Amino acid sequence: MGTLGVETGVATIRFGRSTRSIKTFALVSETLRVMVWDQGATLVAVELEDGTNLVQAPAIGDDLAATDRGYRGSTIGRYANRIANARFSLGETDYCLDANDGPHTLHGGEIGFDQVLWRAEPLKRTDSVGVRFSVRSPDGDQRFPGNLDAAVTYWLTASNELEFEYEAVCDAPTVVAMTNHAYWNLAGQGTITDHILQVNADRFVDMDELNSPTEVRSVAGTRFDFRLPRRLSGPDFGNGYDHCLVLEPSGPAAVLMHGPSGRQMTIETDQPGLQIYTANRLEPRHCGVALEAQALPDSPNRPDFPSVVLRPGEIYRQVTRHHLNL
């Protein structure tokens, strides 16, 4: 590959009935090439020297406005995961959002952060290279209150660490919870049913048949017990996972392993939850696993969950690191 650096380019993508000109950036180290786009502040590729791509990502020919887009690699906001019944209250004010997932608001609404073009700025530190993407979400965007200035920076280090660093500020009280929606496949092809996952979580958020959070339960005796390494296949796998595990405050959040290649990824985060989604509705099915470090689902309506309220003068910050052992 080469020494640490940033390569820039342009491309044209399909977006519904139109096309968009986008900026592309490649973060390059001795062993990795990480491709990101300004469209959706999207992680497109994590490539090894032999061309193996460890994420299942969009391609130039894809329609990135398609309703079955799967949020592949995109930055998610304003609010990652579901807000139940597309409504929440802040103080004395009730906010009714657009429902785009049955009765719920999912991943920020129909035109979430994955659907917009972000401003981009290449960056370099002593031990890493990166790209900072920023966007303004205006007051009323998808019916969320307040102007929100959001940013995400992708960093790649010489020691194969990929870091997502998020920030946001607002001019009126609002709710914020961002994440990245990459689908990891350490084999670079096929499905993730030969992958093994371990998650540092004693509890999970249970849901009803409409995917509304109901209660926080112990993982003991359930198929959500990933405290010891668990294969992403077998009788307990069922139709796959789309559930949030409540992370313990100390230690790595998760470890994803692929035995045949020996590749392993360790995730560290300051977020309270890890959404596990095994690409149940993508084609091919189970082509990757999204490990979304984020706030707990429906937190705006759950005073028992960590707060996601952001107020003027405050700064929303979160960091998630992926340590790749190749």
37 pLDDT above the threshold of 70: yes
User: How much is the pTM?
Assistant: 0.97
Question: With bands split at pLDDT 50, 70 and 90, how would you rate the model's confidence at 15?
Answer: confident
Percent of the chain with pLDDT over 70: 98
CB burial class (10 A; 0-12, 13-18, 19+) of residue 315? exposed
Both structure tokens of 106: 């999912």
Question: With bands split at pLDDT 50, 70 and 90, how would you rate the model's confidence at 307?
Answer: very high
1 pLDDT above the threshold of 90: no
Instruction: Find the Cα–Cα–Cα–Cα dihedral 134, 136, 137, 138, rounded to 10°.
Output: 180
The arithmetic mean of pLDDT across residues 206-223, rounded, is 95
Is 181 among the residues known to form the active site? yes
Name residues whose C-beta falls within 8 Å of residue 242's C-beta, 6 or more positions apart in sequence: 211, 275, 276, 277, 278, 280
Strand pairing of 263-269 and 254-258? antiparallel
Q: DSSP E strands: which ranges in 158-231?
A: 161-170, 174-175, 179-180, 183-184, 195-199, 201-207, 213-218, 230-231
pLDDT at residue number 58: 82
Instruction: Say which of 181, 243, 258, 286 is annotated catalytic.
Output: 181
pLDDT tens-place string over residues 40-81: 999 999 999 999 999 998 877 788 777 566 899 999 999 999
Q: Which among 59, 152, 144, 134 is positioned nearest to 98, based on CA atoms?
A: 144
The arithmetic mean of pLDDT across residues 184-209, rounded, is 97
Is 322 among the residues known to form the active site? no
Three-class DSSP category at 296: coil
Whether the CA torsion 165, 122, 40, 194 is positive or negative: it is: negative
Q: Which among 293, 290, 243 is positioned nearest to 268, based on CA atoms?
A: 293
pLDDT at residue number 60: 75
Q: Are 35 and 8 in contact (CB under 8 A)?
A: no
pLDDT at residue number 67: 55
175 pLDDT above the threshold of 70: yes
pLDDT tens-place string over residues 100-133: 999 999 999 999 999 999 999 999 999 999 999 9
pLDDT at residue number 68: 61
pLDDT at residue number 69: 66
The DSSP 8-state label assigned to residue 177 in this structure reads B
Instruction: Say which of 104, 107, 243, 292 is annotated catalytic.
Output: 292
pLDDT at residue number 146: 98
Q: How far apart are CA 40 and CA 154, in angstroms?
A: 13
Q: Are 131 and 3 in contact (CB under 8 A)?
A: no
pLDDT tens-place string over residues 120-173: 999 999 999 999 999 999 999 999 999 999 999 999 999 999 999 999 999 999
Question: What number does CATH give the domain 5-325?
Answer: 2.70.98.10
Question: With bands split at pLDDT 50, 70 and 90, how would you rate the model's confidence at 17?
Answer: confident
